[in-house]
Structure 1
Amino acid sequence: MTNESKQDFKPRLGLLDATMIVAGSMIGSGIFIVTSEITRSVGGAGYLVAMWVLTGIITIIAAVSYGELSAMYPKAGGMYVYLREAYSPLIGFLYGWTFFTIIQTGTIAAVGVAFAKFTSYLIPVVGEENILLSIGGFQLKASQLVSIAVIVLLTYINSRGVKNGAFIQTFLTIIKIISLAALILCGFIWGAKAETWNLNWQNPWTASGLSMENGHIVSSVLSGLAFFGAIAIAMKGSLFSSDSWHNITFIAGEVKNPKRNIGLSLMLGTLIVTVIYVLTNLMYLAVIPLDAIAFAKSDRVGVVAAEYIFGPAGTMIIAIAIMISTFGCNNGLILAGARVYYTMAKDNLFFAKAGVLNKYEVPAYSLWLQCIWASALCLTGKYNDLLALVIFGVLIFYVLTIIGIYILRKTKPEIHRPYKALGYPVLPAIYIIVASGLAVLLLIFETRYTFPGLAIILAGIPVYYFILKRKNQVVPVAEP
């Protein structure tokens, strides 16, 4: 990291690049995996599709609401800046702290784990079963090394300039969209069977939890609070699969005409992905019996669908497609995440070197710090564990950010708003209610993960005051 300079980011990314960063950061491994867990949680085909539709609706609402904030503050940092301006530097820091400790790095790790999961389908020797080292309760698996290797590679590529990362992102996202569209079409044309579709839709609104006991599927009817808990657990997966749409706001300083293009890319990217996700799940229901969806081996429902459609050869093709998808997703996550730490460093709330650009005009130090911690997380958890840990913190800060729109309308009415939140005040309020309800339900039913997540968020409070005391300063609030 030599020849560092302190110049500002240069706007190099157009609307297509921005839209592909939104869509590409969303489309990763989730759409090929989490449908199995959703089906086990809620049972009926109607509820399965409803989870994806509801997720898509609230994601689009959040995205078009963020458009107002991105137009007000078209700079690097995204949610960190929005929360800092709407509330206080402390709230902004808590987001940045949680973003670094679990949200972005945990997501990068989870997607890396998923990449390794499908790589091992093609190359079994790098699978979870291959334990390279065992010390006490810790096991080093070949799949973990694969996860780390892809994170390191993508970090290196992005440390060499934003155009490198953006080119990979645009190219791979287009490939992902084409591949998913082809899978959907082939599924409906060649793999769909009327008897499978009809059987899956016999009792679409029967909410039941599915489990496997002694080789037999056991169904338990859900009602009352247990029903809402199952909904929350199910949406944990669909929300994670639709997350990271806001990554484009982190690199606002590198987008051309950001006051227009960021809001537009948020709307276009989330809409494209939502349509693809709903159609993909309808295709699953047309091709695969519901029980086979629920208990797909290692939850690889995308691989099962390809096998139903194309036969044994199809599973190899889809595994490669999913590897491409997760590779591109992690590229977008890695590219965008480091810009948050850069902005925090400019506010003297992160390592000073994180606020310096290298000769390629990217925050290389931030990128490598992110790489190191995400790699460490690859050693600590499985895909579903990382997913549960991440989504709770994400929901809390999404809700706070949307509430921030109402606050800023009152406290800073003088700031120019070239774009305003669609459907304000009703649509943002709907998002706040739904997302808050899901966060509370996860806190009740997923305490194993949400309590540690909440503890990490709260741990940021003493860290913040320690930093202030050590630097003997008051954090400046940047002007828009």
Structure 2
Amino acid sequence: MKTPTSVAPHAVTLPRVLGPVAALCVVVGSVIGSGIFIVPASVAKEVPFLSGIVAVWIIGGIFSAAGALTMAELGAMMPRAGGPYVYLREAYGPIPAFLFGWSEFTVSRAGSMATLAAAFARYFIQIVPPPSFLGGAVWQAAAAIAAISIVTIVNILGTRGGGAVQVFGTAIKVGGVLALIALPFAIGGGSVGNMAPIWPERVDGSIFTGVMAAMVGVLWAYDGWMNVTPLAEEIREPEKNIPRSMIWGMAVLISVYLAMTLAYHYVLPMSEMAAADEPEGGITKAVAAVYCKALLGGYGVLAISALVMCSTFISLNGNALTGPRSYFAIARDGMLPAWFQRVHPRFQTPASAILAQGVWAIILTAVGTALVVIPPPESTAGMPQFLTSAWLTLNKTPLYDILRTYVIFGATIFYMLTITSVFVLRVKQPDLPRPYRTWGYPFTPLLFVAGSLLLLGDMLRNEQSRMQAVVGTVLILAGLPAYYLLRRDDRD
């Protein structure tokens, strides 16, 4: 039987070419994408008082940090390509591990790429308006597909190149966010009075409902904290660099997100923050654009458009860099066609897995755009009422919001299951070397599990998010027959 930290001696492996800086930039650069430039408006709409808004961002950060602190133990203990797939395989066996990889491909990872690309396109059309013969939604989809295609090609051409793009882009985006935070204090343009109200007018059940609705967006903004673990096989000294990158990465992210949120509210009154969450329109309805326009006028809109496009593009690159390692690892274990484990002879990258993920992300973008562009038929004969209602709801929902909820539901299920594997492996393999042990164990992983269950339950209860959650669940369950159809007889 193979040990958890090794693969079969004849199996193809990936070279260790990424250092500690690249590992940290994978965490920070993958997470800071579109969320902090768009989500604070929806948070203000759902939780229209500052203390609640701050609490939502802090709680979301603590929740994500609890997951990162736990997964750091697993990554340092089993530094193999695939990350959570490897931990689930050792804790629960091949079927749950395969379902994670299947979910990554069909729902979480490719869906994240499609969502980020939608955000990229949302700002792209401000700089490059759609031609007269083409609708705005179609032009956004074209821009999103182009962005996905570019990062896919870059990462096929080399892991070093993908890592270099990640480091360079992360430096630009973090510097840009820090500049945004400092801007109102440098030029003058904010007021403490804009931050009112601090407390809610009344305390009732609507506050909890609003907090849970806002939390979906906040967790999307933090999503990506585990992205370094699928790259463990390609990181030098993973027993040190994986825990450090995740711990320091989360500290940076929570600090930056909280400071950026407070800066928004320092400049924009609560009503303007909430109004920036309009379901129609592109950049003029995004909170970062409203913020910059208030401070710098029209030039500010162009500047933030360029920054957000860069930010989402680097997050796209992070997903193209990390996600395919899971499919590569599954194929190496014989549970996907051998094509997925092919390493390019010249570039030494899992090129086939990278290409497959990019193609599926493009398909998701096209389908999501069709739901927005094509209205449901006027005649509902022969169509179930729930399907007609869902189509009508999605038709009125921006592409970004459709994909975001779709991603978070599927990702939360498997993040939760992965975190619970730390309990199982401490029992099943107590003597396996653990260079890093989860701080606060067992309370840290338990906090993440409890928060995950609460979020999943609320998403299923909420009518607006239920359809995306159901679609994601159906795709995950489709992995069960896929497991028996796709596994190979030559598996190790």
Under a length normalisation based on structure 1, what TM-score does the superposition of the two structures give? 0.89
Aligned with residue 477 of structure 2, among 453, 458, 463 = 458
Going from structure 1 to structure 2, the CA distance change for 1:350 and 1:229 (only over 3 Å counts) comes to: farther
Going from structure 1 to structure 2, the CA distance change for 1:310 and 1:122 (only over 3 Å counts) comes to: same
User: Hey, what does 1:432 align to over in structure 2?
Assistant: 449
Given that 1:97 and 1:460 are in contact with CA atoms closer than 8 Å, whether structure 2 keeps it comes out as: yes
Q: Specify the SS of the correspondent of 1:193.
A: coil
Q: Distance in 1 between matches of 2:209 and 2:475?
A: 23
Tell me how far 1:311 sits from its aligned partner. 2.0
Given that 2:328 and 2:353 are in contact with CA atoms closer than 8 Å, whether structure 1 keeps it comes out as: yes
User: Hey, what does 1:182 align to over in structure 2?
Assistant: 179
Q: Specify the SS of the correspondent of 1:9.
A: coil
Aligned with residue 370 of structure 1, among 346, 351, 357 = 357
User: Hey, what does 2:6 align to over in structure 1?
Assistant: none
Aligned with residue 275 of structure 1, among 233, 255, 259 = 255
Q: Distance in 1 between matches of 2:440 and 2:201?
A: 33
Tell me how far 1:16 sits from its aligned partner. 0.5
Gaps of 5+ in 2: 1-9, 369-398
Q: Specify the SS of the correspondent of 1:35.
A: helix
User: Hey, what does 1:54 align to over in structure 2?
Assistant: 59
**2:379 is the alignment partner of 1:360:** no
Tell me how far 1:177 sits from its aligned partner. 0.5
Going from structure 1 to structure 2, the CA distance change for 1:190 and 1:50 (only over 3 Å counts) comes to: farther
Aligned length: 444
Partner amino acid for 1:223?
A: D
Where do residues 160-179 of structure 1 align in structure 2 (5 Å cutoff)?
Answer: 160-179=157-176
Aligned with residue 432 of structure 2, among 415, 422, 431 = 415
Tell me how far 1:198 sits from its aligned partner. 2.3
**2:228 is the alignment partner of 1:223:** no
Tell me how far 1:7 sits from its aligned partner. 4.3
Where do residues 232-311 of structure 1 align in structure 2 (5 Å cutoff)?
Answer: 232-296=212-276, 298=281, 299-311=285-297
Where do residues 32-51 of structure 1 align in structure 2 (5 Å cutoff)?
Answer: 32-51=37-56
**2:10 is the alignment partner of 1:13:** no
Going from structure 1 to structure 2, the CA distance change for 1:126 and 1:20 (only over 3 Å counts) comes to: farther
Where do residues 85-234 of structure 1 align in structure 2 (5 Å cutoff)?
Answer: 85-125=90-130, 130-131=134-135, 141-194=138-191, 197-206=192-201, 223-224=204-205, 226-234=206-214
> Residues 307-364 of structure 1: CA distance to partner in whole angstroms, max 9, x if unpaired?
1122221111111111111111101110111111100111111221111110211010
Partner amino acid for 1:456?
A: L
> Residues 222-243 of structure 1: CA distance to partner in whole angstroms, max 9, x if unpaired?
833x543322221111101111
Q: Distance in 1 between matches of 2:212 and 2:190?
A: 31
Q: Distance in 1 between matches of 2:13 and 2:171?
A: 30
Q: Specify the SS of the correspondent of 1:357.
A: coil
Partner amino acid for 1:28?
A: G
Going from structure 1 to structure 2, the CA distance change for 1:47 and 1:69 (only over 3 Å counts) comes to: same
Going from structure 1 to structure 2, the CA distance change for 1:431 and 1:465 (only over 3 Å counts) comes to: same
Q: Distance in 1 between matches of 2:186 and 2:291?
A: 13
Tell me how far 1:203 sits from its aligned partner. 4.3
Q: Distance in 1 between matches of 2:409 and 2:210?
A: 15
Q: Specify the SS of the correspondent of 1:46.
A: helix
Q: Distance in 2 between matches of 1:236 and 1:392?
A: 9
Going from structure 1 to structure 2, the CA distance change for 1:203 and 1:270 (only over 3 Å counts) comes to: closer
Going from structure 1 to structure 2, the CA distance change for 1:387 and 1:239 (only over 3 Å counts) comes to: same
Where do residues 387-426 of structure 1 align in structure 2 (5 Å cutoff)?
Answer: 387-426=404-443
Given that 1:228 and 1:441 are in contact with CA atoms closer than 8 Å, whether structure 2 keeps it comes out as: no
Going from structure 1 to structure 2, the CA distance change for 1:146 and 1:6 (only over 3 Å counts) comes to: farther
Q: Distance in 1 between matches of 2:474 and 2:364?
A: 17
Partner amino acid for 1:465?
A: Y
Q: Specify the SS of the correspondent of 1:247.
A: coil
> Residues 90-124 of structure 1: CA distance to partner in whole angstroms, max 9, x if unpaired?
00011100100010000000101111110101111
Q: Distance in 2 between matches of 1:191 and 1:237?
A: 30
Q: Distance in 1 between matches of 2:454 and 2:236?
A: 37
User: Hey, what does 2:330 align to over in structure 1?
Assistant: 344
Given that 1:188 and 1:286 are in contact with CA atoms closer than 8 Å, whether structure 2 keeps it comes out as: no
Q: Specify the SS of the correspondent of 2:80.
A: coil
Going from structure 1 to structure 2, the CA distance change for 1:68 and 1:38 (only over 3 Å counts) comes to: same
Tell me how far 1:68 sits from its aligned partner. 0.6
Q: Matched residues, percent identical?
A: 33
> Residues 18-72 of structure 1: CA distance to partner in whole angstroms, max 9, x if unpaired?
0001100001111111111122122222212211111111111111111110011
Partner amino acid for 1:431?
A: F
Q: Distance in 2 between matches of 1:61 and 1:126?
A: 47
Given that 2:36 and 2:257 are in contact with CA atoms closer than 8 Å, whether structure 1 keeps it comes out as: yes
CA RMSD of aligned residues (A): 1.9
**2:305 is the alignment partner of 1:319:** yes
Tell me how far 1:206 sits from its aligned partner. 4.3
Aligned with residue 84 of structure 1, among 76, 82, 89 = 89
> Residues 350-382 of structure 1: CA distance to partner in whole angstroms, max 9, x if unpaired?
221111110211010111111110001111220
Moved more, 277-286 or 229-238: 229-238
**2:79 is the alignment partner of 1:74:** yes
Q: Distance in 2 between matches of 1:29 and 1:199?
A: 24
Q: Distance in 2 between matches of 1:339 and 1:441?
A: 31
Going from structure 1 to structure 2, the CA distance change for 1:204 and 1:349 (only over 3 Å counts) comes to: same
Q: Specify the SS of the correspondent of 1:111.
A: helix
Q: Distance in 1 between matches of 2:312 and 2:335?
A: 31
Moved more, 15-24 or 229-238: 229-238
Gaps of 5+ in 1: 133-139, 208-221
Q: Distance in 2 between matches of 1:184 and 1:130?
A: 36
Partner amino acid for 2:73?
A: E
Tell me how far 1:389 sits from its aligned partner. 0.5
Moved more, 296-305 or 238-247: 296-305
Under a length normalisation based on structure 2, what TM-score does the superposition of the two structures give? 0.87
